[in-house]
Chains A and B, each alone.
Chain A
């Protein structure tokens, strides 16, 4: 059975009397350990799809099943708990917390986990070392370059060993050299078994993934993939 099953997802937004269909009957199946890139033009619905996949955006119809759990049938705050335990997010603008150091930012997902302080620090240090920032633990975000901030964001996303790593345009704000380094890092994480789903508009990034899903007007090009 696939790790992620997206079944007939639709998502509509209403703006006054207008109804915008961001997703129209999307069916996707993702296996554990896959590296998927989702590509499409601006407004194609790829970011909406990622937010639905990340348990943050209730679809209008359809279902997302992840590791046997139907996400949008989880009651109340259980969905937040699911995100905390199973998902890692890398955002386009990194979204590091400006008043926390690199290691504190990485420890953020562990703030709500019952672990002793030393274990949290050790896990965060290991995650930062994996992304090559072992020497900059105590830097604040504004003391790091764009590429380094992206790496801290990746370390924060993997510190809780999530089933799936979701990334939204992770190279959107980086120069080409740094983008290549970051993509190589995602590939490396994937080779160690990390499932990665990445939204990107850069065709070069597709080369790092196992599979690329193309979205157009809220639909998957070529039907179910």
Chain B
């Protein structure tokens, strides 16, 4: 017989009360685990989606005072004739330290052409990477499947009077318009997109590119570091981060995380209250018992140890159950909360140990006051009869 024998036997033989306390705490911990896991899984999913939506690093040639722009900034129709980056240079991007964080590299070659009497800006792209990066593009017709096909911006299609399936002559070569872009509100509306090798050939820029857009996965990756790493690999190019994109993403995620943690905080508070009320009730019910303990010579510290050990054991069990139930809940809830089909539940040992540790800490803290109350009981009053 040790003090812990008393605690364990009490838990074993007063199953209903201990089950109530365990369930109360389990629900609290499970809710926290579900919220945290959902938040993390959804954050990861949102990060991934955001990373896929557009570029956050831009690689342009070193400029000699010429304004070279893309994405809302005028190309001026005159200044494309400058140093280009070699297409082979791009391969070096994949050798940077943070290469695993690179989601997509989309090289482009730009050049002006005449279609009939109209000046158009031809953009040579790699359609696979371009479409992956610009998932908001809505294409009427089909996306180009081969080098003989074009994709036309909505404004350009109106001016050139072409529709999907029509033919268009560029520098004497006939191309099929496989699709027309829906209005995007960006410079893409007035562009003609061809495959990169074909555009390079038409513009006489074989093996060269005008710029490259890079979509980097934000999670755990400092964009600034990646910019430096790419700049070291391609010294002739100017590498810059599109800060507003990066910061916008982080801000959106931060807001989502803060909301979840606030919710978790409320649940922690309610969980603590459940433990406190139940333990206080348990102590009050056990007044006589505690009086007996004190009468036969138990010190105040012995009483505290009995109460706190019970709380720790229940909390430990609740922590383990809470983690399991919480992860189960997150797994069930995740498909309803996320839009993507391939969202993954994040299993993290930090959450596992954190939830168990939190449960034990919560149980002990919430039981501290009841334990102190029990230890201070006057044995004579506790026993009344004596």
Contact = CB atoms under 8 A, between A and B. Distances in A.
Nearest to A78: B299
A115 B302 CA distance: 16
B295 A108 contact: no
A80 B9 contact: no
Contact of B386 (A83, A91, A124, A156): A91
Contacts of B98: none
A128 to B, nearest CB: 13
A111 B9 contact: no
Interface stretch (B28-36, B159-167, B286-294, B364-372): B286-294
A108 B386 contact: no
B13 to A, nearest CB: 4
Interface in A80-123: 80-85, 87-89, 91-93, 95, 97-100, 104, 107-112, 117, 120-121
Interface string B265-307: 0000000000000000000000011011111111111100000
Given A91-B292, A108-B296, A112-B298, A99 B14 contact: yes
The interface centre, meaning the residue of A54, A56, A91, A93 with most chain B CB atoms within 10 A of its CB, is A56
A99 B289 CA distance: 11
A104 B299 contact: no
A166 B291 CA distance: 15
B96 interface: no
A168 B6 CA distance: 25
Nearest to A86: B297
B371 to A, nearest CB: 16
Interface of A: 47, 50-51, 54, 56-57, 77, 80-85, 87-89, 91-93, 95, 97-100, 104, 107-112, 117, 120-121, 124, 140, 156, 168-169
Contacts of B341: none
A124 to B, nearest CB: 8
A66 B288 CA distance: 26
Contacts of B293: 108
B5 A112 contact: no
A97 B292 contact: yes
Contact of B13 (A99, A107, A120): A99
B380 interface: yes
Contacts of B13: 98-99, 140
A93 B291 CA distance: 13
Given A95-B288, A107-B1, 17 more contacts: A47-B386, A51-B380, A54-B295, A56-B379, A56-B380, A77-B300, A81-B297, A81-B299, A91-B292, A91-B295, A98-B13, A99-B14, A100-B6, A111-B2, A117-B2, A156-B296, A168-B385
A112 B3 contact: yes
Contacts of B295: 54, 56, 83, 89, 91
B10 interface: yes
A85 B386 contact: no
B9 A104 contact: yes
A47 B291 CA distance: 15
Instruction: Give the interface size class of chain B.
Output: 20 to 34
Interface in B333-380: 378-380
B5 A84 contact: no
A100 B2 CA distance: 12
Contact of A77 (B6, B289, B299, B379): B299
Given A97-B289, A99-B12, A99-B14, A111 B299 contact: no
B383 interface: yes
Contacts of B302: 111-112
Contacts of B12: 99
Contacts of A109: 296-297
Contacts of B3: 111-112
B299 to A, nearest CB: 5
A89 B299 contact: no
B344 to A, nearest CB: 46
Nearest to B292: A95
A142 to B, nearest CB: 11
A164 to B, nearest CB: 13
B14 A80 contact: no
The 5 closest A-B pairs by CB, nearest first: A84-B297, A99-B13, A107-B1, A83-B297, A77-B299
Contacts of A140: 13
A17 B59 CA distance: 89
A82 B383 CA distance: 19
Contact of A80 (B291, B292, B299, B385): B299
A112 to B, nearest CB: 6
A1 B333 CA distance: 79
Contacts of B301: 77
B386 A168 contact: yes
B386 to A, nearest CB: 5
Nearest to B2: A111
Given A83-B297, A84-B297, A91-B386, A111 B292 contact: no
A85 B292 CA distance: 15
Contacts of B380: 51, 56-57
A104 B5 contact: yes
